[in-house]
Structure 1
Amino acid sequence: MTTTLAIDKLQVSIYKDPVIMGHGAADFVEEKLKEAIHRKGFANLILATGTSQFPFLEALKERDIDWKKITVFHLDEYKDICDRHPASFRKYLKDRILDAVSPKEIYFLNGDAENIEKEMSRYTSALKEHEIDIACIGIGENGHIAFNDPPVADFDDPKLVKLVTLDDDCRNQQLGEGWFPTLADVPEQALTLTIPAIMACKAISCVVPDERKAKAVYDTLYNVIGTDCPASILRTHPNVRLFLDQGSAIRIDH
């Protein structure tokens, strides 16, 4: 049984476990992609990474989606990590979904580009040329969306893509999820889509399982909307669904 509630403009769905949650999110994303394809003949999609996205991406691969009509972007990438590194988000997406579904086109954010400013400019131009029909994102343990950690999050950021310094909570999360052997190996900087870039998307699917995210989920839903919890801005978007499991929803009165 699914529990649903609304906080401001944000629609929240709470599922029994991460697998069922992943299928719920995949249904929502499939619907938005098919609506866009029916309306204009193609769709533009942003995908997220991290362990929180595993059940969703597995479910999305099973959906009857015409991937040859879909252009894919992603949220972020570590600076100075190549696409063969085990923690690379480009590698993650290729291994977990993109190689299997073969989209029409993929725009990767290259964190190891020789000229980072030029790379950010290239990606910014590509985003401006492609109105995003749906962004698939998560929420970090520190409340970030993409790599917009509290110290660098800006709801009025003039940029669509920027280079950021990761805060300690964010780097410790990457270590805790097993992407790096030691904290010293976790990069200190990353390229990320900004909050305005995410909020400009026509729809947003936000998948957040696991009890370790419970505080961030609570802050997103009930704290003052502000950069202390960057994800709180999602409450102002007209078409966002937040997908939770019992662990991440444990602090919510439902």
Structure 2
Amino acid sequence: MSEPIQQFVAGELPVAVYASEAEMGAAAAASAAQVIRDTVAAKGHARVVIATGNSQFAFVEALKDQDVPWSDVTAFHMDEYVGIDENHTASFRRWIRERIEEPFAPAKVEYIIGDAPDPQAAADAYEGLLREAPLDLVCMGIGENGHLAFNEPFDADFDDERWTRIITLTSESVLQQVGEGHFPDEAATPRTAISMTIPALLSATHVQVCAPEARKARAVARALSEDVSTACPATKLRESPNARLFLEPASASLLPAQA
């Protein structure tokens, strides 16, 4: 198993920096696999939420090398754009289908129906599915503006009673989607998405966050140093004793040397 080159705790959040993105992904995959095995052994089934996006590539690729009892796992995802179908190249349903359902064959995958005729009804239905039983593991990233899922700065609600909401993307999030190659330009990028809320994400028994790449360095530094507030939603991770943060040198590059 990959060993971190640096470890520290920020608030209640353990942070580990690995020598490369591949080693970070391998460590996160080993951690997730152990959580799932332990949960299945104890409860017979595990409910796992998996983020989509470029930051999760190394983690998901490394899951292929792990012993995971997928036949006892129900998988969820965090968000989906409103108005795009499941085969759109940027669809998070497609991401989960191609990178989780098809290679691993979980017992069940629950999808957010982003192109449903009534998006609010789709959000309500997904919240119902999420609340059917406790979530055992959430695997997520951090956005370039510090968002968690699509809970945007100043709009996120740390005490939200809802577990899913229709979110309006900030211009920075739109630019991130274009920059990652998901859409050709801003005009083509949806402005709304159905997203799990922060209380839903952090309700899980285990939360692990993979945040690689230099473009995430500023958000990571803010998450670990700024006051906990919705100005940078990821700061809330420091008050989440069930969470762990996995980094690599590029994403940790703006952290203080003594951290």
State if a TM-score over 0.5 links the two structures. yes
State the one-letter code of the partner of 2:151: N
Equivalence for 1:249: 252
Once the two structures are TM-superposed, the CA of residue 133 in structure 1 deviates from its matched residue by: 0.5
Q: TM-score, with normalisation over the residues of structure 2?
A: 0.96
Once the two structures are TM-superposed, the CA of residue 199 in structure 1 deviates from its matched residue by: 1.2
Once the two structures are TM-superposed, the CA of residue 10 in structure 1 deviates from its matched residue by: 0.2
Q: Percent identity?
A: 39
Please tell me whether the aligned partners of residues 61 and 97 of structure 1 are also in contact (alpha carbons under 8 angstroms): no
State the one-letter code of the partner of 1:135: V
The CA distance in 2 between the partners of 1:61 and 1:194, in whole Å, is 29
Do residues 157 (structure 1) and 160 (structure 2) align? Answer: yes
Do residues 46 (structure 1) and 19 (structure 2) align? Answer: no
Where do 5+ consecutive residues of structure 2 fail to align?
Answer: none
2:75 is paired with a residue whose SS is strand
Computed over aligned residues only, the root mean square deviation of the Cα atoms, in angstroms, reads 0.9
Q: Structure 1 residues 242-251 or 91-100, which shifts more?
A: 91-100
Once the two structures are TM-superposed, the CA of residue 132 in structure 1 deviates from its matched residue by: 0.7
Equivalence for 2:84: 81
Once the two structures are TM-superposed, the CA of residue 84 in structure 1 deviates from its matched residue by: 0.4
Please tell me whether the aligned partners of residues 151 and 167 of structure 1 are also in contact (alpha carbons under 8 angstroms): no
Equivalence for 2:231: 228
Q: TM-score, with normalisation over the residues of structure 1?
A: 0.98
2:61 is paired with a residue whose SS is helix
Once the two structures are TM-superposed, the CA of residue 202 in structure 1 deviates from its matched residue by: 0.8
Do residues 185 (structure 1) and 220 (structure 2) align? Answer: no
Query: Residues 190-235 of structure 1, C-alpha deviation per residue, up to 9 Å, x if partnerless?
Result: 0000011011111101000011111100111110000000011011
Match for 1:108 among 94, 106, 111?
111
How many correspondences in the alignment? 254
Once the two structures are TM-superposed, the CA of residue 239 in structure 1 deviates from its matched residue by: 1.5
The CA distance in 2 between the partners of 1:170 and 1:8, in whole Å, is 27
Once the two structures are TM-superposed, the CA of residue 62 in structure 1 deviates from its matched residue by: 2.1
Equivalence for 2:40: 37
Equivalence for 1:210: 213
Where do 5+ consecutive residues of structure 1 fail to align?
Answer: none
Query: Residues 98-152 of structure 1, C-alpha deviation per residue, up to 9 Å, x if partnerless?
Result: 2111101111011101111221111111111021111000000000000001132
Runs of 4+ in 1 over 3 A off after TM superposition: none
Equivalence for 1:12: 15
Do residues 142 (structure 1) and 145 (structure 2) align? Answer: yes
1:179 is paired with a residue whose SS is coil
The CA distance in 2 between the partners of 1:105 and 1:152, in whole Å, is 32
Match for 1:199 among 194, 199, 202?
202
Do residues 90 (structure 1) and 93 (structure 2) align? Answer: yes
